[in-house]
């Protein structure tokens, strides 16, 4: 199991920043085009228990992705967990907190993704050879597009405060669930 962490600072307030992220229809805008990301759920009211269906293209093949909103605390945080995805586990914590930078008010947007590739002993090999590189590309693109869509011609004002960082995780944090919604064993 692995964790991906990254953060970007935006010179915007929490409410404005959170509003962009809570609209799932913005996801295709901040996802690399090669993933062919499409939101299938027509009307989405983010709240705990909300289920959102997507399709992506992975290695050219269409795949369904379904997420459950586990936590929703506007404008501070929300958590989505994949019920169906290419991953054995995908748990994405999004946090938004006021943070001044150089005496300028703004919001720190932090991503913490806990994921498990599965595939037994081949999982670590896939992580090293493919997954880590792809996720780095996806989240770098995401950070650029977040700045572009939220700041427009002021996109250069955004600051990546935590570059994309991966960590191997031995124990499962107790709040994480499997695709079936059941807690994972520790």
Strands (E), the chain: 2-10, 38-39, 51-58, 61-73, 77-84, 89-98, 107-116, 159-168
Segment 55-81, tens digit of pLDDT: 999 878 999 999 999 999 999 999 999
Query: What would the two tokens of residue 108 be?
Result: 């720190």
Higher-pLDDT residue of 116 and 171 is 116
Sign of CA dihedral 72, 169, 86, 136: positive
Query: What would the two tokens of residue 84 be?
Result: 């169906």
Query: What would the two tokens of residue 101 be?
Result: 């930078």
Distance (Å, whole) CA 102 – CA 109 = 17
Is 80 exceeded by the pLDDT of residue 176?
Answer: no
Distance (Å, whole) CA 140 – CA 20 = 18
Tell me the H-state helices in 75-164: 122-126, 132-151
Sign of CA dihedral 147, 152, 156, 158: negative
Superfamily for domain range 2-168? START domain (3.30.530.20)
Tell me the H-state helices in 5-152: 14-22, 122-126, 132-151
Average pLDDT of the chain is 92
Q: How confident is the model at residue 173 (pLDDT cuts 50, 70, 90)?
A: low
Burial (CB < 10 A; 0-12, 13-18, 19+), residue 115, is buried
Please report, for the chain, the start and end positions of each structural domain, with discontinuous segments joined by +.
2-168
Segment 3-36, tens digit of pLDDT: 999 999 999 999 999 999 999 999 999 999 999 9
Segment 109-155, tens digit of pLDDT: 999 999 999 988 898 899 999 999 999 999 999 999 999 999 999 99
Is 70 exceeded by the pLDDT of residue 45?
Answer: yes
Burial (CB < 10 A; 0-12, 13-18, 19+), residue 65, is buried
> In angstroms, how far is the first alpha carbon of the chain from the final one?
12
pLDDT of the residue at 156: 93
């Amino acid at each position: 199991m692995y964790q991906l962490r990254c953060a970007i600072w935006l010179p915007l307030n929490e409410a404005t920043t959170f509003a962009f992220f809570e609209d799932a229809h913005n996801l295709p805008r901040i996802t690399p085009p090669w993933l062919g990301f499409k939101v299938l759920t027509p009307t989405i009211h983010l709240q705990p228990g909300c289920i959102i269906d997507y399709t992506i293209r992975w290695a050219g093949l269409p795949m369904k992705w379904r997420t459950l909103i586990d936590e929703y605390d506007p404008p501070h945080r929300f958590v989505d967990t994949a019920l169906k995805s290419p991953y054995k586990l995908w748990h994405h914590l999004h946090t938004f907190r006021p943070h001044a930078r150089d005496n300028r008010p703004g919001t720190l947007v932090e991503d913490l993704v806990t994921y498990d590739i599965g595939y037994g002993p081949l999982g670590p090999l896939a992580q090293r050879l493919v997954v880590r590189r792809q996720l780095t590309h996806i989240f770098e693109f995401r950070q650029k597009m977040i700045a572009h869509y939220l700041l427009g011609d002021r996109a250069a004002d955004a600051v990546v405060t935590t570059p994309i960082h991966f960590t191997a995780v031995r124990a499962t944090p107790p709040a994480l669930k499997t695709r079936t919604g059941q807690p994972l064993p520790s």
